[in-house]
Structure 1
Amino acid sequence: MTAHHTTGNHADFGAITHRTVDVGGLALHVAEQGEGPLVLLLHGFPECWYSWRHQFAPLAAAGYRVVAPDQRGYARSDQPADIGAYTLPHLAGDVIGLIHALGEERAVVVGHDWGAPVAWATALLRPDVVRAVAGLSVPPPAYGETPPLHALRERFGDGFYQLYFQPPGVADAEMAADPAAVFRGVLYAASGDNPFNDPPRPWIIPDGMPLAATIPPPERLPDWLTEEDIAVFVREYARHGERAFTGGLNWYRNIDRNRELLAVFRGARIRVPALFVAGDRDLVMTFGGGADRVVAGVGRAVAAPHRSLILPGCGHWTQQERPEEVNAALLDLLAGLPAGG
């Protein structure tokens, strides 16, 4: 475990420290603040530890040790070359390994976007380690009889973004050509501030249209996002150069494989306290048939006390768009757990 404690630049706010942790031979960069029971914050795509910038101080002030890693393939962390190294069992294994590498036995695990399926899977597979789980934007996966990519193609067509991401190297090159434009465009396009998302609609990339053309930058960034935020994301992604987005895209390339690998757990329910938070303008709500059906699905997936919170006017970037409400919901979940780690 190599420590790199730094303060005072754009990537360090107050008491946040940074270091690299060895997790089974994989070097994961982590940002952390506070002391007390461990809370792990797992980002999504295309993001990194910085996506949790509004959660560190409030959770730390409430008496928790807050750790946000760059997950496998992202930003300052290692990026395995094998596409098959990005399955949910790999990613959940990283979470368990990280908890133990941090010297802890148990943790509360919180995930947003792709981080949410990792959090849900870790809670399902290792309830002895996960004290409670929170998923932001994405509910627990519900695998059916049809492979997910086939179902997505039948429902949304070949241009659905998760299908567009499948061919190795294609979206990778388009996104790496101008990371600043990607972050500016994607973060606005999927937000509640984009009128296109009232009501929410899926992200479609029509045949022959460049990906960038489907996420044009806004004339003005929404209030929750600044040009400095965009610059931080770009700098955090700089390590991997032309493969800056490849690690994250490889998660999408294992969607069908995840269903196969987790088939033995089909029908199993999560048995630790749980929280689900999402916006009613989140494109993910369209995947599950609307907020009411998504919330009902959470109830079927969780066999322990749980709460679902739908935030009016909020888009996909839940904890960035609505930090105060998300923080209050997380602190409420944490306060209801038995004392200690």
Structure 2
Amino acid sequence: MKKYQHRFAYANRIRIHYVEEGEGPLVLLCHGWPESWYSWRHQINALAAQGYRVVAPDQRGYGLTDAAPRVEDYGVLQLVGDLVGLVQELGESNAILVGHDWGAMVAAPAALLRPDMFTKVGLLSVPYMPRRPVRPAARFHMSSQEKHFYQEYFQQVGKVESELEIDVRRSLLGVLYTGSGECRKHPEHRKSSFLSFDKRKHFVDSLIVPDALPEWLTAEDLDFYASEFKHSGFRGSINWYRNVDRNWENTPFLDGAKIRQPAIFIAGEFDGVLKMAAKEYEDLETNVPGLCGKHLIKDAGHWVQQEKPGEVNGLLLDFFRNGAEQENRNVQACHFGQSRCGSGMPRKGFYGASGAS
């Protein structure tokens, strides 16, 4: 494993562990579930080498960062507060904010609440999801009539974490593989999903555990993730899901809010979130007027920055350097099926295995 600078900051009443490399404008990389700062291992040094101060924290409840005791300690206002406090503790006044999965779901409200601090926003896998008129619990009820919907399944405290912790390494491999591009391309495995699964099964029963590791995940990578969750457990990270209704109740002031900073969206073409959030994906240009790029990466699944790090790094660096000016180049770069550039329709890029096409 590469050597990184590991540090701690006290912010928003918790101790936050983070990895830091480089000097220059601050870039804050926020991971999702079930990951850690380590999900950005391919980005940290690559971005730092191009003149950025890169900080990747373990978010609240993960890794070496404190796990607050109560479910309500993981609401979106607390999570945004962690990011604001961390930036301040780093001695900075602003940052480029990049989030993947749940990291993107916190990056979006952080951008809305503190546009002075978060001047550019990168959303990976999860598009900006404006506050809906119907509370999440009602949507969970509708989504789980015939099958379990994973977010509904996660609501009962102690249920899914007890399953995952029976064999942490196996559980993590199952989640990471089942959400990956390799699984989606496999003729048999592609039929499985942990997003929605048989009512007679447990969550862990919906996971596909491959005989061999996917190309993008080494045994060392998996061992590190397993060691982190053996230390922290899954309770804190799952508590993020248990606040979705509370987040809805606490943020009526965000109704109709738009992200106006320069922003980029990147996802793998096989990411299941694109189906779950199809409307939000299609409406990105409306809800994010500052959108500079909307990119699907060929053959990638949900773990896009790990599965296709070269393509993601190139897109992020181009966005960091050029911001809103990137939009004009995207019009010229779009050639594949997702592109409708130059026609007055939404501008989208499709990236192949070697980068921009």
Same structural fold, with TM-score higher than 0.5 when normalized by the shorter chain: yes
Distance 1:259 1:25 in 2: 23
Give the AA of the match of 1:335: R
| Cα deviation code 1:114-142 (max 9, x no counterpart) | 00011111011100000100010001122
Q: Residue 225 of structure 2 corresponds to which residue in structure 1?
A: 233
Change (3 A) 1:174 1:198: closer
Task: State the shift of 1:33 in Å.
Answer: 0.6
Aligned to 2:254: 265
Deviation of 1:232 (Å) = 0.5
Match of 1:106 in 2: 94
Hey, what's the Cα distance between the residues in 2 that align with 1:27 and 1:128?
24
Aligned to 1:82: 70
What TM-score do you get using the length of structure 1 for normalisation? 0.90
8 Å contact from structure 1 (residues 200, 281) kept in 2 = no
Cα displacement (A) at 1:236: 1.8
Question: Letter of the aligned partner of 2:81 in structure 1?
Answer: G
Contact 1:72 1:79 in 2 (8 A): yes
Q: Partner of 2:51: helix, strand, or coil?
A: coil
Q: Are the aligned partners of 1:159 and 1:207 in contact in 2 as well (CA < 8 Å)?
A: yes
CA distance in 2, matches of 1:44, 1:221: 21
- The residue identity in structure 2 corresponding to 1:329 is L
Amino acid at match of 2:302: H
Question: What amino acid is the match of 2:295?
Answer: L
AA of the residue aligned to 1:106? N
Residue pair 2:71, 2:239 contacting (<8 A) in 1 also: yes
Alpha-carbon separation, structure 2, partners of 1:168 and 1:65: 38
Q: 1:188-227 counterparts in 2 under 5 A?
A: 188-194=177-183, 195=186, 203-227=195-219
Aligned to 2:176: 187
Q: Which residue pairs with 1:6 in the alignment?
A: none
Runs of 4+ in 1 over 3 A off after TM superposition: 155-158, 196-202
Task: Give the secondary structure class of the aligned counterpart of 1:308.
Answer: strand
Does 2:295 align with 1:309?
yes
Deviates more, 1:62-71 or 1:200-209: 200-209
Q: Relative CO higher for 1 or 2, CA cutoff 8 Å, sep ≥ 6?
A: 1
Deviation at 1:204, TM superposition (A): 2.1
Instruction: Check the 8 A contact 2:104/2:123 in 1, yes or no.
Output: yes
Measured in 2, the distance between the counterparts of 1:120 and 1:331 equals 20
CA spacing shift, 1:89–1:312, aligned 2, 3 Å: same
Displacement of 1:305 in angstroms is 4.1
CA contact (8 A) 1:278 1:316 kept: yes
Following the alignment from structure 1 to structure 2, what is the Cα–Cα distance between the partners of residues 47 and 104? 26
d(CA) in 2 for partners of 1:305, 1:320:
23
3-state SS in 2 of match to 1:219: coil
Q: How does 1:166-185 map to 2 (within 5 A)?
A: 166-185=155-174
Q: Do residues 69 (structure 1) and 57 (structure 2) align?
A: yes
Paired position in structure 1 for 2:9:
21
2:285 to 277, 299, 302: 299
Shift of 1:337: 4.5
Q: Report the CA distance shift for 1:294/1:202 in structure 2 as closer, same or farther (over 3 A).
A: farther
Q: Note if contact 2:169-2:223 (Cα within 8 Å) is conserved in structure 1.
A: yes
Contact preservation (8 Å) 1:295, 1:308 = no
Between the aligned partners of 2:219 and 2:209, the Cα distance in structure 1 is: 12
Specify the code of the residue in structure 1 equivalent to 2:294. S
Q: CA deviation at 1:221?
A: 1.3
Q: Distance in 1 between matches of 2:313 and 2:282?
A: 23
Q: Counterpart of 1:96 in structure 2: which amino acid?
A: V
Alpha carbons 2:130, 2:257 under 8 Å: kept: no
Alpha-carbon RMSD: 1.8
Deviation at 1:216, TM superposition (A): 2.9
Percent same amino acid among aligned pairs?
41
Structure 1: runs of 5 or more not aligned:
1-9
For residue 34 of structure 1, the aligned residue among 18, 22, 27 is 22
Instruction: Give the secondary-structure state (helix, strand or coil) at the position aligned to 1:54.
Output: helix
1:129 to 95, 117, 120: 117
- What amino acid is aligned across from residue 252 of structure 1 in structure 2? Y
The amino acid that maps onto 1:323 is P
Structure-1 separation of matches of 2:135 and 2:79: 20
Checking the alignment, whether the CA contact within 8 Å between 2:193 and 2:207 is kept in structure 1 is no
2:112 equivalent to 1:120: no
Assess if the C-alpha contact under 8 Å between 1:200 and 1:282 holds in 2.
no
> Contact 1:278–1:311 (CA<8 Å) still a contact in 2?
yes
Per-residue deviation, residues 51-95 of structure 1 (Å, max 9, x unmatched)? 000001110010001000000011111001110011111101110
Deviation at 1:312, TM superposition (A): 2.2
SS of residue paired to 1:27: strand
Query: How many residues matched?
Result: 320
SS at match of 2:306: helix
Give the 3-state SS of the residue equivalent to 2:197 in structure 1. coil
* Aligned residue number for residue 140 of structure 1: 128
2:309 is aligned, of 313, 323, 335, to: 323
Q: Structure 2 CA distance, aligned partners of 1:103 and 1:219?
A: 47
Is 1:164 matched up with 2:153?
A: yes
Q: Distance in 1 between matches of 2:237 and 2:269?
A: 25
For 1:333, the equivalent position in structure 2 comes to 319
Q: 1:286 aligns with which of 275, 282, 306?
A: 275
